[in-house]
Structure 1
Amino acid sequence: MAVSVLFRCLRTELNKVSFQKHIECLHTSCGLFAADKALLVKLRKSTGYTFINCKKALEKFNNDITQAESWLHEQAQKEGWSKASKLEGRRAKEGLIGLLMKDNAAVMVEVNCETDFVARNEKFQQLVQNVALATMAHHQSKTPSAYIKSLLSSEDLSKLAMVEGPSVADQLALTIGRLGEKISLRRAVSIAVPADWHIGSYVHGAVTGQTSLPMGHYGALVVFQGGPEGQVEVVGKRLGQHIVGESPLMLGNMEDIPCGESETRLLAQNFLLDPKYTVGQYLAQQNARVLDFVRYKCGERSTEEAE
């Protein structure tokens, strides 16, 4: 009986000591716990991965944040490739059009996702920008002596190399792994013009994000010559606005007369910003001439897809 009482007393004292040590640790903010917490917050903020995954990565690599971040990217990329195949049958009709202009060149890309919520995500917008930069880097050349226009398919885009870091395909898988829904590289166009030509551009439904690239749900590029001195950029933007708003299918001729509300020839359409003139008449006033244009609507289906 006495022995039993003695053991109970010893156990009580040991519990008291353990509890006291725990309280002391909480009050003094143990150095190891504070360091872990700071690294966890930093890793979570820089990568966007979940708290649990960031904690797991830091524990795995003994608080080495560089190795932890690299491992998180690898895991997300692996998960992305797996998810990409599982989500293949789902349709991604949301997303963004991205425009990039540089010197006498321009690219317009479309990247799709399933929901507008993901389209507003910083990681998705970064992917759009990276695809545009990769497209520009791939097709950029010295000042051309003639007009160059290249159309890129989804497969073409996936083969591009990033300016820095992983390939476009790997970047796509990484983003799918992070955001958890189907994302697809839809298409792109790259344009290069001689020094005396101009490229106008316009994005409609623009989103406000962390990237510097103009992005929205509609986009247009227009190639033209001439225009008033100092007003070339304005003329290019006005033409881009018209192309987005009126959806022309072909160029037509400067002398074309409108055939009604279903007019699909650009130059014969009533000019959106001043309907008393046709686009051809507006261009004549500006001493300008349109040579080509491209219009994208995010999520639109081609004739082949509709069939």
Structure 2
Amino acid sequence: MAITAQMVKELRDTTGAGMMDAKKALTEVNGDMEAAIDWLRTKGLAKAAKKSGRVAAEGLVGISVRDGRGVAIEINSETDFVAKNADFQQMVRDITDLALQTGESIEVLRATHLNGKPVEEVITEAIARIGENMNLRRMHLLEGDTVVSYVHNTAAEGMGRIGVLVALNGPKDKAEAIGKQIAMHVAATSPASLSEKDLDPSLIEREKAILTEQARESGKPEAVIEKMIVGRMAKFFEEVTLLGQKFVINPDITVAQAAKDAGVEITGFARVAVGEGIEKEKEDFAAEVAKTLGA
């Protein structure tokens, strides 16, 4: 497979590796971008393993919570101009409230009636009225004794760029107090799962394979390598699981310890960020303005 300059640039942007190292990595794995990232990490040449999904699409995340039940939905638009549109924001608010009442899944929500019409049709009419493509992309429902929410980069009440829900068991007053702090922590750190047992097995295997190759390149005996891998995997779990992470409010303790000290238990969380994992063509500012104005 021919390795293009664009492929090299994308890999450099993702990993922080040098140009020649990025080109060599792509050549070694026949252009497979994820495999090239792993190759660079194995060789210790990736300065940072950035998230593979680049956030590009616009829109809003809507959050609604009531009586131990919370919902977060994402509705995308093409530009952030539309995300600031009062008409669009009202639609997001209405669909979010509807999802909290009746939503079981994104498919059910699309078919549920809002003001006498299916949500899918409401969005289609908004596309025609506002003049920009939109999409109801994701929905997360969370339940617990207490569900706490947090919205980052707020555009209006209950909606913004990042929405977080945290479910907790325990006394309601204590859960609400520590829950808000934990929700802010989740917004900042974007953990992959609640705990080690909730992690995607393929993610664990991939990380273990990378760490194993790194350890073997040290030339140490196999028995030493095994101990190195155990320690490094423990560090990995601390970094990517919510309960294992150092609490941003007090880095001397973990999130699990903070919850325990508060007398509550974290049972689940959801974090939704606008455009997460969506590719979008880059446009210059003038072109985006012209597009919004229908020029």
Aligned pair count reads 191
1:135, CA displacement in angstroms? 1.2
Query: What RMSD, in angstroms, separates the aligned Cα atoms of the two structures?
Result: 2.8
Q: Does 1:264 align with 2:208?
A: no
Which amino acid in the other structure matches residue 110 of structure 2?
S
1:201, CA displacement in angstroms? 1.0
Q: Is the 8 A contact 1:250 1:266 kept in 2?
A: yes
Pairing 1:71-220 to 2, within 5 Å after superposition? 93-139=57-103, 150=104, 152-153=105-106, 155-162=107-114, 164-193=115-144, 197-208=145-156, 213-220=157-164
Q: Is the 8 A contact 2:56 2:276 kept in 1?
A: no
1:184, CA displacement in angstroms? 0.5
Aligned partner of residue 267 in structure 1, secondary structure = coil
TM-score by length of 2: 0.59
Aligned partner of residue 96 in structure 2, secondary structure = helix
Q: Is the 8 A contact 2:142 2:270 kept in 1?
A: no
Percent identity between matched residues is 32
Residue of structure 2 equivalent to 1:250: 193
CA gap 1:161/1:216 in 2 versus in 1, 3 angstroms: same
Aligned partner of residue 230 in structure 1, secondary structure = helix
Structure 2 alignment gaps of length 5 or more:
1-54, 198-232, 279-295
Aligned partner of residue 171 in structure 1, secondary structure = helix
| Residues in 2 aligned to 1:261 and 1:192: alpha-carbon distance in whole angstroms | 25
CA gap 1:191/1:262 in 2 versus in 1, 3 angstroms: closer
Which amino acid in the other structure matches residue 160 of structure 1?
T
| Residues in 2 aligned to 1:246 and 1:283: alpha-carbon distance in whole angstroms | 17
Which amino acid in the other structure matches residue 159 of structure 1?
A
1:191, CA displacement in angstroms? 2.8
1:156, CA displacement in angstroms? 3.8
Q: Is the 8 A contact 1:106 1:199 kept in 2?
A: yes
Which amino acid in the other structure matches residue 259 of structure 2?
L
Q: Does 1:276 align with 2:231?
A: no
1:260, CA displacement in angstroms? 6.0
Q: Deviations over 1:164-219 (max 9, x none)?
A: 332212211221112101110011122333xxx111111101013xxxx4101111
Q: Does 1:293 align with 2:269?
A: yes
Q: Deviations over 1:99-136 (max 9, x none)?
A: 11122221111100000010000011011112112212
Aligned partner of residue 124 in structure 1, secondary structure = helix
Q: Is the 8 A contact 1:108 1:132 kept in 2?
A: yes
Residue of structure 2 equivalent to 1:230: 173
Structure 1 alignment gaps of length 5 or more:
1-90, 140-149, 303-307
Q: Deviations over 1:234-269 (max 9, x none)?
A: 211111101111111111279xx9716981011110
CA gap 1:286/1:119 in 2 versus in 1, 3 angstroms: same
| Residues in 2 aligned to 1:113 and 1:191: alpha-carbon distance in whole angstroms | 25
Could you say which structure has the greater relative contact order, defined with CA pairs below 8 angstroms and 6 or more residues apart?
2
Residue of structure 2 equivalent to 1:57: none
